[in-house]
Each structure stands twice: as C-alpha cells, then as structure tokens.
C-alpha cells in the first residue's frame, strides 16, 4: 500500500515537472515577423510586441506577460532594433502588456498614458513594488505625445475609450506602421475591460480616430500583423456588437435573451482565446460585456481624485 502511494506521488511529481517544462516552453516560445525594414513584431504567449529600429537603438512597444519573456524581448530588440533599448511604451495596464518591463534596466524611459499609470498603481501595486518600480511608466500624458529618438518620430495618441479608457496607439511616423495595443484584436474576440473604463459603445468612434492617422501596416494587440482593411473589418464587428447592446437596452433583453437574439456575423472565423480558469474570449463573453455595459452591471475601478 505504502509502495503504491510512493509510486502515485512519483507519477504526480513527473507530471508536474512535465507541466512546468511545457509551460516554460510556451512562455519562452517567441516568433518574430518583419513588418518593414525598420519594424518587427514579436509574437508569443501574451500581447504582440513592436520593435522599432533607430540610429540610437531600439524602441519596444509592450513587453508581454512574464519577466522571462521581457528578458528575451530585450535581447531580440537589441538585435533587431540596432542597439540598446532607448524606451519602452506600454499601450495599457494589462499584465500581458507590461509584466516584462522589469527585465529592462531600472530607470529606463517608460512611456504610457496617465490613466495607465493610475491603473497600475490602483490594481497591480504588488507586482510593481520593490525593484520592479524602476520600470513603471515615468513619462505620462493625457491625449497626445510625440517622441523623437535619433532619426525616428513616434506619435502616441489616446484616441478614446474602447478596451479601457487609457489605451494609446503608437505611430512609427517614418515607417507608416501603427501599433494599436488592444484597441484591435485581429481575427479574435476582444477583451472589454468595463471596470477600467472600456466601452463597446464608444469603441467604434475610437477606431474612426485611429483611422485618421497615416499608416499602412498594423501590429494589433493580439493576432497577426495586418493593414488598414484588417482594422476596418474589426470595426465592423465592434459596430455589430454595439448595436446588439443598444437593441438589448431598447427591448429590455435579459443577458440570456441578448445571447440568443443578437445578430452578429462579422466574427466569422474569429479565434477564441482562452486562459484556463481565468477567462475565455468568445462570442458569449463579448455579448455579456455589451449587455453589462448598457445595463450598468459592473463596477468601475476607483482612481484617485482628479483621475475620474
Ligand atoms: Zn489588454
């Protein structure tokens, strides 16, 4: 009996070790795509990372989910971006876009919106305590910001509410490439963070403002690199979703009715993104968020006075 138990424990230990190896492989498996002569995208478990090459070194947009990934991103960025990383830009506060930051030198230039910084302080303070605090956003703005690094210009714009109410998009001006952060999920159902001011209803107008910028290629927050047409396709889906929410409000639908009555078809072929036990981004999820927004069924994260 005791021997059987020992054998059982050994099997469990082996499985746990295999699971850990599998998990480690998942998070360290990064893939690079060339977006233009001076721009690359890095794909992995978490958000898409953008790397811009300048005469002075690299600029990195978002840093994925784990510190280990941040270290790999840093190495890849130095190689692809022509030298040491000059600045990090965080498109919004979610951990799959920011938690790689601490792999970069403390005190490095980190740019984000004021609201992104406020959300990090409000909901993620544990992670950002101690040494990690040295890679929190230290250059913030409300609506527009421009950065020049050597031969390159970066235009940062907070185009409005959508995924959260603090997202920014980054235009690599000379290269006509835009990194949208999570204001654009390409070919996937989006996360809508109502708690942090996200809005299905305002998302469509926000994309209109994004489309006013001068770009050809687009690095979305999640999904493959695409172009303006890809972004317009996603906008069509968000318009349908917003209409579903408005109809639910008008007709007084319950959540269940919203799920069965809503008509969506622009999501044909959309991928479902699932993090076991955490979240599942599928049609049910986005309809639930659309319904919760119009029925006021959610609670906003409270930010300090003056950040309302
Ligand atoms: Zn996000």
| pLDDT, tens only, 36-55 | 999 999 999 889 999 999 99
Domain boundaries, the chain: 2-295
Say how many Å lie between the CA of residue 97 and the centre of ligand 1: 7
Say how many Å lie between the CA of residue 163 and the centre of ligand 1: 7
pLDDT at 1: 61
Say how many Å lie between the CA of residue 162 and the centre of ligand 1: 10
Cβ atoms of 53 and 77 within 8 Å: the answer is no
The answer, yes or no, to whether residue 75 has pLDDT greater than 90, is yes
Mean pLDDT of 163-177: 98
Say how many Å lie between the CA of residue 142 and the centre of ligand 1: 18
In Å, what is the CA distance from 202 to each residue of 131, 165, 211, 293? 37, 10, 15, 11
Say how many Å lie between the CA of residue 222 and the centre of ligand 1: 9
Percent of the chain with pLDDT over 90: 86
Say how many Å lie between the CA of residue 24 and the centre of ligand 1: 22
Angle between helix 283-295 and 200-211 (nearest 10): 110
Task: List the one residue out of 60, 61, 64 whose CA is nearest residue 45.
Answer: 64
Task: List the one residue out of 126, 243, 98 whose CA is nearest residue 182.
Answer: 98
Mean pLDDT of 149-177: 98
Say how many Å lie between the CA of residue 82 and the centre of ligand 1: 28
Angle in degrees, CA 226, 233, 297, rounded to 5: 115
Q: Residue 305: CB partners within 8 Å, gap ≥ 6?
A: none
The answer, yes or no, to whether residue 27 has pLDDT greater than 80, is no
Say how many Å lie between the CA of residue 113 and the centre of ligand 1: 14
pLDDT at 30: 95
Structure tokens at 76: 């890849």
Extract the runs of DSSP E, i.e. beta strands, from the chain: 31-36, 39-43, 49-53, 58-61, 85-89, 110-113, 139-141, 144-149, 152-157, 169-172, 177-185, 217-222, 226-227, 273-275, 279-281
Q: Can you count the helices (H) and strands (E) in the chain?
A: 8, 15
Residues paired with residue 169 on neighbouring β-strands, in sequence order: 157
Give residues whose Cβ lies within 5 Å of ion ligand 1: 94, 182
pLDDT at 25: 76
Q: How confident is the model at residue 258 (pLDDT cuts 50, 70, 90)?
A: very high
Say how many Å lie between the CA of residue 161 and the centre of ligand 1: 13
Mean pLDDT of 132-144: 98
pLDDT at 241: 98
pLDDT at 282: 97
| pTM beyond 0.75, yes or no | yes
Mean pLDDT of 248-276: 95
Say how many Å lie between the CA of residue 7 and the centre of ligand 1: 43
Say how many Å lie between the CA of residue 140 and the centre of ligand 1: 18
Burial (CB < 10 A; 0-12, 13-18, 19+), residue 141, is: middle
Q: What is the CA radius of gyration of the chain?
A: 21
d(CA 128, CA 93): 12
On average, the pLDDT of the chain sits at 95
Q: How confident is the model at residue 14 (pLDDT cuts 50, 70, 90)?
A: confident
Say how many Å lie between the CA of residue 141 and the centre of ligand 1: 19
Task: List the one residue out of 150, 149, 183, 177 whose CA is nearest residue 165.
Answer: 183
Q: How confident is the model at residue 21 (pLDDT cuts 50, 70, 90)?
A: confident
The CATH classification number of 2-295 equals 3.60.15.10
Mean pLDDT of 98-112: 98
The answer, yes or no, to whether residue 22 has pLDDT greater than 80, is no
pLDDT at 255: 97
pLDDT at 36: 97
pLDDT at 9: 81
pLDDT at 308: 67
**Distance from CA of residue 9 to its chain's centroid?**
39
Say how many Å lie between the CA of residue 250 and the centre of ligand 1: 29
Mean pLDDT of 220-247: 98
């Amino acid at each position: 009996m005791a021997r059987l138990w020992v054998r059982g424990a050994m099997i469990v230990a082996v499985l746990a070790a295999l699971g850990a190896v599998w998990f480690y492989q998942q998070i360290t498996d990064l893939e690079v795509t060339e977006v233009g002569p001076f721009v690359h995208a890095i794909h992995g478990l978490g958000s898409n990372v953008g790397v811009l090459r300048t005469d002075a070194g690299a600029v990195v947009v978002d840093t994925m989910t784990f510190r280990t990934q941040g270290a790999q991103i840093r190495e890849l960025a130095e190689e692809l971006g022509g030298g040491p990383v000059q600045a990090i830009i965080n498109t919004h506060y979610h951990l799959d876009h920011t938690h790689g930051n601490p792999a970069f030198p403390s005190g490095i230039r980190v740019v984000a919106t004021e609201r992104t910084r406020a959300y990090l302080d409000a909901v993620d303070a544990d992670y950002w305590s101690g040494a990690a605090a040295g890679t929190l956003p230290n250059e913030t703005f409300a609506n527009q910001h421009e950065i020049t690094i050597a031969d390159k210009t970066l235009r940062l714009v907070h185009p409005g509410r959508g995924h959260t109410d603090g997202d920014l998009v980054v235009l690599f001006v000379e290269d006509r490439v835009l990194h949208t952060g999570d204001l654009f999920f390409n070919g996937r159902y989006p996360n809508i963070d109502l708690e942090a001011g996200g809005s299905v209803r305002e998302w469509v107008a926000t994309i209109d403002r994004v489309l006013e910028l001068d770009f050809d290629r687009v690095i979305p927050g999640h999904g493959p690199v695409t172009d303006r047409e890809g972004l317009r396709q996603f906008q069509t889906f968000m318009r349908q979703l917003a209409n579903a929410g408005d109809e639910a409000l008008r007709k007084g639908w319950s959540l269940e009715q919203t799920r069965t009555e809503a008509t969506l078809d622009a999501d044909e072929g959309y991928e479902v993104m699932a993090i076991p036990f955490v979240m599942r981004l599928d049609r049910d999820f986005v309809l639930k968020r659309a319904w919760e927004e119009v029925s006021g069924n959610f609670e906003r994260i409270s930010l300090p006075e003056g950040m309302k």
